[in-house]
Structure 1
Amino acid sequence: MSETNRIEYKRELSDGLEKEVVAFLNYREGGIIYIGIDKEGRTFGVKDPDSVQLKIKDRVRNNIRPSALGLFDIVTEERDGNDILKIIVASGSEKPYHLKKFGMSEKGCFIRLGSAAEPMSQKLIEELFATRTRNSIGKIKAHRQDLRFEQLHIYYQEKQKPLNKQFRKNLELTTTGGDLNYAAYLLADENNVSVKLAKYKGNTRVDLVESNEYGYCSLIKATKSVLDKMNLENRTITKITHSERKEHRLWNAIALREAIINAFVHNDYTREIAPKFEIFSDRIEITSAGSLPDGLSKNEFFEGFSIPRNKELMRIYKDLDLVEQLGSGIPRILESYSKDSFRFSENFLRMVFPASEEVFDKTTNETPQVTLQETPQVTPQVQDLLNVINGEDSRSELQYHLGLSDRENFRKNYLQPALAEGLIEMTIPEKPQSSKQRYRLTGRGAKARKI
């Protein structure tokens, strides 16, 4: 395969890498740079891909402005028995990107033309700068500056990526003036962002049977709560014939997860609207605010070209393994659902996935009701547990908020009594030991809560 407008080959890491990255950042489709392949398409490989990855990340982070963090991804691939590096570069929303050394000049600004990175004219530089996105969550000052990030620390610690004292700056949670920005507000322990998940009995919004709210907490926590809830709703249907046993779920699990993540990461939060999730008897609808980013066509969207609306969120979701690589989500969804599943408007993007069966299983017997005492037996420890639960929490989160280091003490005196009294419930009851297990209040527990 030869070089194209979206593909650049480099036999080895060279001094011109940043120039190629800048050109793709400024190009409306982004592009891919392969390290370890020469201009003729012959594979030579990379001897120490891990070390080279670190060098690339460091150079892109320090030598390109505005920040390209969240706009590029590096993965190792094998070709012809050799390891090569694939650098995926998204089209940025703060054009023109430039080499820090030369600033916004013809020496510093490049754009992809054909199979080459060409210098920008001063006129184009000025035109792009005039249209640069200014109303982004990274530039908007948060209306609160007394924000705490305990939940974010927990999630990074769980991935063995502990945050240091400079994490606000390193994760781009501050404005150029040093104030916490709106991205920080979304990721803080407390905010006013409410994520709704509704369930209707029919195929219209008339008969609401369940309404869940995941919010007022870190957007990461809200995302995980929605993922866990949807995993529970996405039940498995089993059909047994004389020759085999067939199982399938209401919705393709991979596509559903990608759609949920996509809605959170690419939602236009500057409109102060959160993504919305709705389950009907025949389908699921996932709605996020904002139309396609400027410069991205529907065809490019479906082909996986990426212009991250919120690069700060994209970077953190990638750090926490919620996003695999840039531009991979939509193609994964299209493996299971057609392009007709996507509805575009000036203000919203909606994904509609039909259910493989009736969402409400009419053949399954109702779950037997468990009789509980009218007045629950709430010890001081259980009461403390009820008071710190916020939405859906992991064991480590609950222990952290309670200030408990002894896991056995927490299990014996807090968790088990609360479960036995029906005050809290597991999000994955069929897998009590799951690493993704979370706990939430029941209606009974909500009544006993004292805050």
Structure 2
Amino acid sequence: MSEEFLGNYGLLNQNGRMNMNAYLMADRNEVRVNVVTFEGTDKSVMSHRTEYGGQCLLSAMDEVLHYFQSSNVTRVNVTGTKRQEESLYDFPSFREAWVNACLHNDWNNALSPAVYVYDDRIEIVSYGGLPYALSLDGFYRGTSIPVNKSLMTIFIAAGEAEQSGHGVPTIVDRYGKEAFRFADGMLTVTLSFSFEPQQVTARKETLRRKDGLSQNEKAVYEILRGDGHLTLKEVAAKSGLSLSGVKNICKSLQEMNLLIRVGSRRDGYWEAK
């Protein structure tokens, strides 16, 4: 790339060296963009984390968009003769929130935006407050004052953004002003789910079944959850139960979908949910 090209897109500093924007656009970098899923409605139990960083910011951003577009399940509601589809969350709102998070994030602090998924909502978090001279009312109306004008130019050229100011109003129209929260130098955009995700319902049902287990069932379950490669004779020895009793309990746990046998009876193992 020519120096003129780099200069036109704001990828050079005053000394003619590559700047932070150039680093963000590099094919390889140390920018980490995380999507973290939690069990429940707070951060006490993390389910899994996926990292999309280490590459051009535009590529990482698009991968996150693709993930949430493909995972946005739809529920069909039938009332009389009417059939209505309802998405778990409004994807256009998510897209606006996520692109804005990547674009307007304060990258000088080396902190990346992130997405947190809970049982009942998605939170898109970015760093930095309102742009200078932009009021909260102006923000909600969609007044566009880019924090990083050079990065905005790159996003527009890549077809990822447009300085129309419709992003925030799109979210406000769907989720209200309360979707936005400015605190501790961060902006959090909360998109509440339209209904309870199937995996959340299934997990709650599993917990309900566990709570209903007898003392002996709980003992066998916990032993196999700790080591699924134990034989039933070893489970009987550890639990103090008879072998026939352990077999019956394992069968019952399988019927409750709390225990799965993976592989053959001889070479397989137990997987506790």
Counterparts of 2:76 and 2:103, CA distance in 1:
34
Is the CA contact 2:156–2:162 (under 8 Å) kept in the aligned structure 1?
yes
Q: What residue in structure 2 maps to residue 227 of structure 1?
A: 65
Q: 1:203 aligns with which of 41, 52, 56?
A: 41
Could you list the runs of 5+ residues in structure 1 that have no partner in the other structure?
A: 1-162, 365-451
Q: What residue in structure 1 maps to residue 176 of structure 2?
A: 338
- The C-alpha deviation readout for 1:168-192, integer Å capped at 9, x for no partner, is 1221100122111111001101111
Q: What residue in structure 1 maps to residue 117 of structure 2?
A: 279
TM-score (norm 1): 0.43
Percent identity reads 36
Partner of 1:194, secondary structure, is coil
Q: Does 1:246 align with 2:84?
A: yes
After TM superposition, give the deviation of residue 166 of structure 1 in Å.
Answer: 3.7
Partner of 2:61, secondary structure, is helix
Q: What residue in structure 1 maps to residue 267 of structure 2?
A: none
Is the CA contact 1:290–1:348 (under 8 Å) kept in the aligned structure 2?
yes
TM-score (norm 2): 0.70
Counterparts of 1:306 and 1:359, CA distance in 2:
35
Q: Does 1:181 align with 2:30?
A: no
Q: Runs (4+) of structure 1 moved beyond 6 Å?
A: none
Alignment of structure 1 residues 34-183 onto 2, 5 Å: 166-183=4-21
Counterparts of 2:186 and 2:128, CA distance in 1:
5
Counterparts of 1:268 and 1:308, CA distance in 2:
11
After TM superposition, give the deviation of residue 210 of structure 1 in Å.
Answer: 1.9
Q: 1:295 aligns with which of 109, 133, 138?
A: 133
Could you list the runs of 5+ residues in structure 2 that have no partner in the other structure?
A: 203-273
Counterparts of 1:275 and 1:362, CA distance in 2:
25
Whichever structure has more helix as a proportion of its residues is: 2
Q: What residue in structure 2 maps to residue 97 of structure 1?
A: none
Q: Does 1:305 align with 2:143?
A: yes
Counterparts of 1:301 and 1:359, CA distance in 2:
32
After TM superposition, give the deviation of residue 165 of structure 1 in Å.
Answer: 7.0
Q: Give aligned pairs, total.
A: 203
After TM superposition, give the deviation of residue 354 of structure 1 in Å.
Answer: 0.8
Counterparts of 1:307 and 1:200, CA distance in 2:
34
In the superposition, relative to structure 1, how do residues 296 and 221 fare at CA in structure 2: closer, same or farther (>3 Å)? same
Instruction: Give the residue type in structure 2 aligned to 1:259.
Output: A
Instruction: Give the residue type in structure 1 aligned to 2:86.
Output: H
After TM superposition, give the deviation of residue 215 of structure 1 in Å.
Answer: 0.4
Q: What residue in structure 2 maps to residue 192 of structure 1?
A: 30
Q: What residue in structure 1 maps to residue 95 of structure 2?
A: 257
Counterparts of 1:351 and 1:360, CA distance in 2:
23
| C-alpha RMSD of matched pairs (Å) | 1.9
Is the CA contact 1:280–1:359 (under 8 Å) kept in the aligned structure 2?
no
